[in-house]
Amino acid sequence: VQLVESGGGLVQAGGSLRLGCRASGFTFSTHTMGWFRQAPGKEREFVADINWRGTMTNYADSVKGRFIISRDNNKNMVYLQMNSLTPEDTAVYSCAVRGVISPTRYDYWGRGTQVTVSA
């Protein structure tokens, strides 16, 4: 299993970024995918997830209304559109796949991509 994130970078507050995660090594179209983030000195936190069909999504309260998760099962890609970014969104963002080994756990993680939001 391999998950590779892209699209991170430096952006000013109020700006937008679109992250992508390319998946391989498992049947992408049958698994829930999630985005998580970890800021320096903080625990990793859930950001958003999307079910295998792309019909159900969940968001952390801190990003609801600003971030949008989507997926393209033909391309084995999951995306995170991030709008109205604030310095509090600065973190390493990682994608993860649920249910490859354990039905209810995120089993594999990407290395992450850095998102830095300047004030």
Check: CB of residue 46 under 8 Å from CB of residue 29: no
Q: What is the pLDDT of residue 35?
A: 98
pLDDT of amino acid 27: 96
β-strand pairing of 45-50 with 33-38: antiparallel
C-alpha closest to that of 78 among 103, 105, 109, 100: 109
Q: What is the dihedral of CA 4, 9, 14, 16, to 10 degrees?
A: -40
* Residue ranges, the chain, pLDDT below 70: none
Q: Using the CB atoms, write b or e for 28-44: b if 16+ within 10 Å.
A: beebbbbbbbeeeeeee
pLDDT attached to residue 103: 87
All residues at 6 or more sequence positions from 42 whose CB lies less than 8 Å from its CB, including other chains: 91
Taking phi first (over 0 means left), then psi (-120 to 50 degrees means alpha), and beta for anything else, what does residue 17 get? beta
pLDDT of 2: 97
Residue owning tokens 């859930």: 46
